[in-house]
Amino acid sequence: HGPYDTDDGDVLTGWALSGRGIINKPRFEVEPFIRDRRLKVILPSTPPTPVQFAAVYPHKKLQDPKVRLLLDFMAERCQRLINDLVAGK
């Protein structure tokens, strides 16, 4: 609890960068700021709630094969980007 409240992750990050408090966000979202030492990990044993990506699309019988290809591509690409970011690449 504190004087600030938001459900916007970018706003939270901005507040932390400006010294307004502690945030608990997924590592991939703040890794660049940790790497350049603008943010510091202080509670490594208290991870945030896992983030879930989701897509809403028609049932298989109504689904265009291109939609499935796009979803598979996006899932693979997002996972690779997150892994690279956390690894510091």
* 3 state SS of 39: coil
Same domain, 43 and 57: no
Taking the C-alpha atoms of residue 31 and residue 88, their distance in angstroms, rounded to an integer, is 8
* 40 shares a domain with 80: no
Range of the domain at 84: 53-89
pLDDT at 2 over 80: no
> Mean pLDDT in the chain?
87
> What is the per-residue pLDDT for 1?
67
Q: Are residues 31 and 60 in the same domain?
A: no
Averaged over 15-39, what is the pLDDT? 92
Same domain, 6 and 21: yes
Largest pairwise CA distance in the chain: 52
**Same domain for 41 and 5:** yes
Q: Quick one: 40 and 64 in the same domain?
A: no
Model confidence, pTM? 0.64
* Count of domains observed in the chain: 2
Better-scored residue on pLDDT, 54 or 45: 45
